C-alpha cells in the first residue's frame, strides 16, 4: 500500500477537530504530535496526568527542568495561565467529564468502540499508566493510529484480541487511510484518501465499513 | 511544636521489615532520593528494613532511588501503574525470575485509592478498568445506566515525601510537577516523613499557599540542595 498518511499528517488531521479553548489530553508518544498542528487562531489547553494544565512545547536542550515534565516523562514548558495540581485532582478532571477530548494510540479498535492499547499479551512487563482512566470521562475519546499493523493486519477489528483498555469508549479513529466514526457498534466511514477506493479501505479493515449518505476525501497538507 | 529531625538517618528510623511504603514522585519529579538512599544505607548496615512493599507510580529507573532499593534486595513487591522507564533493568530482571511481586493499578485508580485511604473511605466505584483484566474478581455495580468497578482504599505504614518548602509544623509546598502523588500519600500513611529544601518558622508560609497541611506530616528533615532523579539518571549515577 503506497498511499498513506505520515504520523505528522494523521496528527494534523486530528488537530483540525479540536476547538478553540478545548481541554485536551494527548496520549504519550506519537499522539503528543497533535499539539503541533493546532489551526491558526485556535488554542487548546493541554492536560497531563501528572498534574499540569496548559503546558507548552519542550524547552531547548540544556534548559530542561526535570520537575516540569509530562506523563511521558519529557521536559515541558508552561504557558500563561498554567496550573499545578495533585494526582487525585488530575484524574478527577479525567473521570469527572471535564476534558473535552482525549486522543490515544491503539493496538486494536473494535467496531463496538472497545480499545486495546496497553498490553500485547502475557509476556513481558505489564504497564498501564493512565490509559484505562483516560478512556472514561473525556467527552470525546479518539484514536490516532496506522490503519494496519507493521505486518499489514487490520487494527480496526470486529472484536479486540488483545487485553482491553476500555469497553465501548472510542468514538472516532484517525488512521493513515481514513477518518472513521464508531456509531451504534459500527465503523462509519467519514473520509478516505482520494487515491484509494472504498473497497481498498474495506480490504484493510477487519470489520464492515458503513457509509451513511456519503464520505469525503481525506486531504491533508504535505508535512 | 517542632517536627524537624536533625538528619536523614534520624528521619528514617523505625521503618520495619514487611512494611508498606508510599514513595512520592512521578518518574524523577518529586522522588525523595535522599530519604530513599538513607533507607538503603540503613538496610546495608543492619539488614533492615527488608521485604518492603513499595507504592509509587513507577518501579524505579536506572540505579538510584527505588531502582537502587530493588537492586539492594529490600523490596518484595511493587504497587504501581507503570513499571517501565528509560532504564527499568532493576525491576525487570527481578520480575522476570519471580523475585519481586507486582500489583498493577491504573494510574487514576492508584491516586484515588490513596486518597480514599487518607480520607477514611474503605471503597469506591470507578468506571476505570470495567471489562478489563485489571477488574477481574472485583465487584461491579451499575449507576445511572453505566457500569463501575469497586476499588478499595490503599494505606501505608510510612510515606516518604519530597517537598520544596516546609514550616516546622509540617505545612508543605511542592515544586512544579513534583507535587503529583505526594499530597495524597502524606494523608494515607501512619508515619509521613518529609525532606524539604527549606524549613521556615510557623507563619512564614502564607496559609493560602499551603498544599499539604501539617496535620498529615510527622517528621521533616532539611535537604538543602536535593538531587533530582532524572538528572542523576542522565549523569549515569549509580547508588551502589
How far off is chain A from B31, nearest CA to CA, in Å? 10
List pLDDT tens digits, range B177-193. 999 999 999 999 999 99
Q: Does A72 touch chain B (CB under 8 A)?
A: no
When pLDDT is averaged across residues A176-195 and rounded to a whole number, the result is: 98
> Does residue A154 register a pLDDT over 90?
yes
Q: Retrieve residue A168's grid coordinates.
A: 465501548
- Report the alpha-carbon distance of residue A54 to residue B213 in Å, rounded: 26
Contact B29 A130 (CB under 8 A): no
Taking contacts as CB-CB distances below 8 angstroms, the residues of chain A near B92 are: 125
Taking contacts as CB-CB distances below 8 angstroms, the residues of chain B near A66 are: 28-29, 228-231
pLDDT of residue A121: 86
Average pLDDT, rounded, for chain B: 97
Q: Does A115 touch chain B (CB under 8 A)?
A: no
How far off is chain B from A92, nearest CA to CA, in Å? 8
What domains can you pick out in chain A, each with its CATH number? 7-217 (3.40.1080.10)
Residues A90 and A50: beta-carbon distance below 8 Å: yes
pLDDT of residue A124: 83
User: What ranges in chain A are assigned the alpha helix state H?
Assistant: 7-15, 87-95, 131-134, 198-203
How far off is chain A from B166, nearest CA to CA, in Å? 17
List pLDDT tens digits, range A22-45. 999 999 989 999 999 999 999 999
Q: 3-class DSSP state for residue B99?
A: coil
Nearest by CB to A69, which of B27, B127, B182?
B27
| Percentage, residues of chain B above pLDDT 70 | 100
Q: Does B95 touch chain A (CB under 8 A)?
A: yes
Contact A68 B29 (CB under 8 A): yes
Chain B residue with minimum CA distance to A50: B180
- Report the alpha-carbon distance of residue B49 to residue B74 in Å, rounded: 7
Name the band, by pLDDT with cuts 50, 70 and 90, for residue A195. very high
Q: Does B118 touch chain A (CB under 8 A)?
A: no
What domains can you pick out in chain B, each with its CATH number? 8-123+159-234 (3.40.1080.10)
What are the residue numbers of the active site of A? 49
List pLDDT tens digits, range B19-30. 999 999 999 999
pLDDT of residue A123: 83
**Given phi > 0 = left and psi -120 to 50 = alpha, else beta, which region is A165?**
alpha
List pLDDT tens digits, range B180-228. 999 999 999 999 999 999 999 999 999 999 999 999 999 999 999 999 9
List pLDDT tens digits, range B47-91. 999 999 999 999 999 999 999 999 999 999 999 999 999 999 999
| Percentage, residues of chain A above pLDDT 70 | 99
- Report the alpha-carbon distance of residue B25 to residue B181 in Å, rounded: 6
Give per-residue burial for B113-138: e unless 16+ CB within 10 Å, then b.
Answer: bbbbbbeeeeebbbbbbbbbebbeee
List pLDDT tens digits, range A66-120. 999 999 999 999 999 999 999 999 999 999 999 999 999 999 999 999 999 999 9
Contact A86 B134 (CB under 8 A): no
Q: Does B91 touch chain A (CB under 8 A)?
A: yes
- Report the alpha-carbon distance of residue A34 to residue A7 in Å, rounded: 9
Q: Retrieve residue A182's grid coordinates.
A: 464508531
Average pLDDT, rounded, for chain A: 96
Taking contacts as CB-CB distances below 8 angstroms, the residues of chain A near B84 are: 125, 127
pLDDT of residue A2: 67
Sheet holding B140-143, edge to edge: B123-126, B146-152, B140-143
List pLDDT tens digits, range B112-130. 999 999 999 999 999 999 9
- Report the alpha-carbon distance of residue B165 to residue A154 in Å, rounded: 53
- Report the alpha-carbon distance of residue B15 to residue B43 in Å, rounded: 10
Cα distance between the two ends of chain A: 19
Taking contacts as CB-CB distances below 8 angstroms, the residues of chain A near B151 are: none
Contact B134 A125 (CB under 8 A): no
Q: Does A52 touch chain B (CB under 8 A)?
A: yes
Q: How many CB pairs under 8 A join A and B?
A: 139
> Does residue A1 register a pLDDT over 60?
no
Amino acid at each position: 500500500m503506497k498511499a498513506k498518511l505520515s504520523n505528522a499528517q494523521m496528527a494534523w488531521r486530528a488537530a483540525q477537530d479540536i476547538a478553540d479553548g478545548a481541554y485536551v489530553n494527548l496520549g504519550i508518544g506519537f499522539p503528543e504530535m497533535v499539539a503541533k498542528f493546532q489551526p491558526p487562531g485556535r488554542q487548546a489547553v493541554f492536560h497531563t496526568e501528572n498534574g499540569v494544565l496548559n503546558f507548552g512545547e519542550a524547552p531547548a536542550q540544556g534548559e530542561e527542568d526535570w520537575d516540569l515534565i509530562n506523563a511521558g516523562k519529557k521536559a515541558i514548558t508552561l504557558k500563561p495561565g498554567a496550573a499545578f495540581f495533585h494526582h487525585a485532582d488530575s484524574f478527577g478532571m479525567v473521570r469527572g467529564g471535564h476534558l473535552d477530548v482525549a486522543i490515544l494510540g491503539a493496538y486494536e479498535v473494535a467496531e463496538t468502540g472497545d480499545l486495546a492499547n496497553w498490553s500485547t499479551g502475557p509476556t513481558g512487563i505489564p504497564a498501564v499508566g493512565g490509559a484505562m482512566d483516560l478512556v472514561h470521562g473525556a467527552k470525546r475519546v479518539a484514536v490516532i493510529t496506522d490503519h494496519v499493523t507493521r505486518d499489514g493486519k487490520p487494527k480496526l477489528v470486529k472484536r479486540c484480541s488483545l487485553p482491553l483498555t476500555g469497553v465501548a469508549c472510542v468514538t472516532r479513529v484517525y488512521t493513515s487511510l481514513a477518518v472513521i466514526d464508531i456509531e451504534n457498534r459500527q465503523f462509519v466511514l467519514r473520509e478516505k484518501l482520494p487515491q484509494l477506493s472504498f473497497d481498498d479501505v474495506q480490504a484493510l479493515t477487519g470489520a464492515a465499513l458503513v457509509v451513511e449518505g456519503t464520505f469525503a476525501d481525506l486531504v491533508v497538507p504535505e508535512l | 511544636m517542632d517536627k524537624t529531625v536533625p538528619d536523614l538517618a534520624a528521619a528514617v528510623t523505625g521503618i520495619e521489615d514487611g512494611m508498606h511504603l508510599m514513595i512520592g514522585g512521578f518518574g524523577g519529579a518529586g522522588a525523595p532520593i535522599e530519604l530513599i538512599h538513607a533507607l538503603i544505607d540503613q538496610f546495608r548496615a543492619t539488614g533492615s528494613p527488608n521485604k518492603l512493599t513499595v507504592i509509587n507510580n513507577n518501579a524505579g529507573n536506572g540505579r538510584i532511588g527505588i531502582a537502587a532499593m530493588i537492586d539492594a534486595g529490600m523490596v518484595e513487591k511493587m504497587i504501581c501503574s507503570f513499571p517501565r522507564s528509560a532504564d527499568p533493568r532493576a525491576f525487570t530482571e527481578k520480575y522476570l525470575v519471580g523475585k519481586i511481586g507486582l500489583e498493577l493499578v491504573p494510574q487514576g485508580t492508584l491516586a484515588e485509592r490513596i486518597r480514599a485511604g487518607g480520607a477514611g473511605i474503605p471503597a469506591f466505584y470507578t468506571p476505570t478498568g470495567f471489562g478489563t483484566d485489571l477488574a477481574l474478581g472485583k465487584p461491579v455495580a451499575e449507576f445511572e445506566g453505566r457500569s463501575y468497578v469497586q476499588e478499595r482504599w490503599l494505606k501505608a505504614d510510612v510515606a516518604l515525601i519530597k517537598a520544596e518548602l516546609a514550616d516546622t509544623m509540617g505545612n508543605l509546598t511542592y515544586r512544579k510537577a513534583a507535587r503529583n502523588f505526594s499530597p495524597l500519600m502524606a494523608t494515607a500513611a501512619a508515619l509521613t516523613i518529609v525532606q524539604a529544601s527549606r524549613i521556615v518558622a510557623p507563619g512564614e508560609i502564607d496559609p493560602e499557599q499551603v498544599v499539604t497541611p501539617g496535620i498529615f506530616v510527622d517528621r521533616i528533615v532539611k535537604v538543602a540542595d536535593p538531587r533530582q532523579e532524572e538528572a542523576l539518571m542522565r549523569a549515569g549515577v549509580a547508588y551502589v
